[in-house]
Chains A and B, each alone.
Chain A
């Protein structure tokens, strides 16, 4: 392909070649590196004893680490490539991305899908991956693309409602309170949530909701819809918690982990033992005891417990600070994005990432009930890591187009 000279580029193209936001990139790479090291430490025993019967580690203690490392390298390269793409492309592509990801979600229920541990989340097409990872981004892209044009829509002359008919008056009223505008988003969300619910995939639902809600919120949807929506979600949760045995048990084991140490409360109890025994300074990198078959999922959802045990309060807080800085920098980029689409996209992705971090740490420390959300950059899982890095790539792509402040 012929290389296009810089002078031949359009302004848009030139903008897309702007510099990456280095602080954000540095934070991402730092967290990825720390995450890999902690994964190695946490998964060492599990890989050595080959505890998970669904994988064969051959007793190689580096099994999980090597797998994750490959994905991390590919993911970082992918992140760079994604950041090179002019994100404006996603405005048009987002519709297809959403449609495609919903199609994949449906395909999960065909023989192409694969279930594990009672949940049907995977697609086996040469390799295995979770379409829900894709749908999380697609929803944000689509919502951001559509909502970024919201202002323009308002500017357009309002549709004439026939005030004489009841239907017309209803329509006008509904439009006035902003409900009509929300209907397409609501339908899309409900379809996706329904499909995820059928898998079932609780954490996927939470993350899709958090991303979508953040985009809707930032785009200026009237606040009372959030109040209403929040009330609705709260009511639904309350119903679930009190009316379904499964959730009640889960809540019980969270509120009172000591009550069922051999059953549901076991994992949280072990996690708290890990964290609590870490103390201020921790047992030292690699010296976790809890990883020796006490704490289940110690290299997946509960890797942070091992972090706390090995690095202590100081190390854990340091990592929390790094995550907080990453999130703050993300919002900073959103505030400085070149256009509403970029802002909304970053807000969506960034909020989703933040939700993941907060919910995961909340669960591991026992501050929140178990949800099954993994910790970005730390938890074992190749696709998840690649998708996270690709999302970061999207944010970096937006950061390229931020106009540098004029030099004083």
Chain B
């Protein structure tokens, strides 16, 4: 390199030499060295860390928009809509854009200086406009709204959720009028509607935000939860490049994945049967002041299809987060008055109440089945051949088992001599203990397993409970210390199973021995209506033979039809009902409370429906008392059986089952009144007698001038009609008397005196034990003479199925 010094005109000196050196130094440092760390940094970012930066870039630069799939509809067995989704809107406010929308330029003076006060006033005015408008239109909380609109950092403040289309119109108008679309807008979202409100709530479940659901509601219970993936369908995606503002970028790559709408569920649940179950539950709970609710299940025993499943207290899935049950509401109200609504006690109670109402007792809870379990043991013993139906068992009021004396509920002298059917009819614990001793602990254990009581039933619902058996398992049970457990197990105590396990096992016993997997979803259909899934009946195993099953059905019919049998209150003429009562102690509570249940099915020869109905803890007149305050003996036979009988009859009627009468029943069956007015008395009497109708006369004369009832009216076969001679039948309305507590003959006489007719339903048999439970026309109602009043009779049953 040429020495620059030689080019300089000035004489080289101290100063110039230092200028030269220092400039060269600067050249080296500033011109070369300083760039080295920069290049190093670039290499670090662009080569060494390239992958992670590219990942970060991709994360923020791609816009992955979800295209919502429509959630499937849930139908009941008749095609009625139980749950459907609709579009709703949420109102979003961007406080930041409220500020941005006020143009600063308009509030600058000539020097470009901002007139702060005026500018701020303009922003305030805009806020007032929005706040006032929304408070007016949507009734939002003004204070809260003002707080949120002043949070200018935020660009996304959801103000109102789940607004219906019609609710949005006024606000849309407001936005349009005041040109607020940049700061106030609607976002569509989806809402689940349950048109039948609380009917089948526990089966359907509800939609809620869960821990990992993000900002979409997902099914949180019932089939909504279990079939979440089927119902929700496949969310579509649009992947595009996005800008920093979150909008789609002009060009660049795009990728579309179509959304697939969710499948529709067709349940085995019938909304009508379901509401019958719920009504029966509710009625019993009200009548007997049942403290802890109850459950009811209706199943088709030949397929395992659940026709209905109810649990009380109940909730409304449309509004799942508020307490629905009236009793719970009353309790909360009392608490609120005592402690105030802000108290911990109140909040705890609310949360407890919500948990109680969401819990599906029929599915998740376990209980001691009590005497309803006895037929299963009898079936096992018959199947194993250790007893035959004609074997006799003598009940002397109890059994000595190991070191304990376990009494029958009928203490000494006990039930006396009984055959197997009578053991069931009497629900005799002593007899059961003798039978199970013959069966043997080992075989009993095998049958428990065989009935599926150790496993979950496999029902397609969320939250099936787990049965609780004796600690120590089989080894304990079959060992010397298990003897007491074997004895108590024979009448369904000292172990706990879920109601769904109980009904599934019971179904296997009456349907020919097939243990089936219960289910609630019959089929799944796609958008076009094609089935994508159809449930095939799943048989888990054969538990007992068809023959044993048939024997048991006959025995269980006797339990209901027998005039002295424990289940007689479930008897309904015309329906061949079989069943078993159950009254079980709640051994893990020290309250003396009982669970009263009834397991019934009909028709006996070919069961179409099997019902389990249970009430948890009917109120006792005093602690430990066996009677309700109104004097009903607390037992499954008195509390659950009458309800279950009516329920079965209603269900069978609804299903259109032909009634079947025995000859006795036929005699008491209905007949139609014919016209005899205008006939001679003797002719009229003859016509009536032909039809088995008795008559009495009022007035004197030979020609019938009036009759009660009119022709065409259906009356019970044994009724006495009234013929009027020489006078017209009265037309003045009469008041229906209160018949409660009367015996059938008392009721009949009372009614006929007033020109009304009795149709007795329910228990038949020994009049002295029967009393009227309910009447079809309420007392004091005014009706025309000749009206038929249906009265249901029950008789008190003592079948306290525990030692």
List the interface of chain A (C-beta within 8 A of B): 45, 49, 53, 111, 114, 124, 150-151, 154, 214, 217-220, 272-280, 289-290, 292-295, 308, 312-313, 316-317, 320, 323-324, 327-328, 330-332, 334-336, 338-340, 343-344, 347, 350-351, 354-355, 358, 361-362, 365-367, 402-403, 405
Contacts and interface: CB of A to CB of B under 8 A. Distances in A.
A362 B38 contact: yes
Given A218-B22, A294-B60, A276 B45 contact: yes
Contact of A151 (B15, B241, B245): B15
- Could you tell me the dominant secondary structure of chain A's interface residues? helix
Contacts of A365: 38, 41-42, 45
Nearest to B16: A340
B527 to A, nearest CB: 37
B239 to A, nearest CB: 14
A358 B41 contact: no
Contacts of B45: 272, 275-276, 308, 365-366
Contact of A217 (B26, B32, B42, B56): B26
Nearest to A347: B23
B22 A336 contact: no
A328 B46 contact: no
B57 A347 contact: no
A294 B242 CA distance: 10
Contacts of A351: 26, 30
B726 to A, nearest CB: 102
Contacts of B24: 331, 335
Contacts of B733: none
Which of A218, A276, A278, A294 has the largest count of B CB atoms less than 10 A from its CB? A276
A111 to B, nearest CB: 6
Nearest to A44: B250
Contact of B9 (A292, A327, A335, A339): A339
7 A-B pairs closest in CB distance:
A276-B53, A293-B244, A277-B57, A331-B27, A292-B243, A294-B244, A151-B15
B144 interface: no
Interface residues of B, number: 53
Contacts of B112: 114, 124
B563 to A, nearest CB: 82
Given A275-B45, A276-B54, A402-B7, A335 B31 contact: no
A328 B32 contact: yes
B26 A317 contact: no
Interface in B47-87: 47, 49-50, 52-54, 56-58, 60-61
A354 B244 CA distance: 33
Contacts of B249: 289, 292
Contacts of A344: 19
Most buried by A among B15, B31, B54, B60: B31
B18 A358 contact: no
Contacts of B53: 272-273, 275-277
A280 B57 contact: no
Interface of B: 2, 4, 7-10, 13-16, 18-20, 22-24, 26-27, 30-32, 34-35, 37-39, 41-43, 45-47, 49-50, 52-54, 56-58, 60-61, 100, 104, 111-112, 241-245, 249, 252
A293 B246 CA distance: 9
Contacts of A367: 37-38, 41
A279 B10 CA distance: 52
14 contacts: A218-B19, A277-B50, A279-B46, A289-B249, A289-B252, A312-B46, A316-B46, A317-B42, A320-B38, A327-B31, A328-B32, A335-B20, A367-B41, A405-B7
Given A279-B50, A293-B243, A340 B15 contact: yes
Chain B at the A interface: SS class = helix
A40 to B, nearest CB: 16
A54 B53 CA distance: 32
A330 B31 CA distance: 9
Given A45-B243, A151-B13, A220-B18, A336 B4 contact: yes
Contacts of B43: 313
Contact of A366 (B41, B50, B56): B41
Given A150-B15, A220-B18, A358-B30, A313 B42 contact: yes
Contacts of B58: 277
Nearest to B5: A335
Contacts of B42: 275, 308, 313, 316-317, 320, 365
B19 A358 contact: no
A336 B46 contact: no
A313 B60 CA distance: 22
A323 B31 CA distance: 9
Contacts of B7: 336, 402-403, 405
Contacts of B27: 327-328, 331-332, 335
B26 A308 contact: no
Given A293-B244, A293-B245, A347-B26, A279 B47 contact: yes
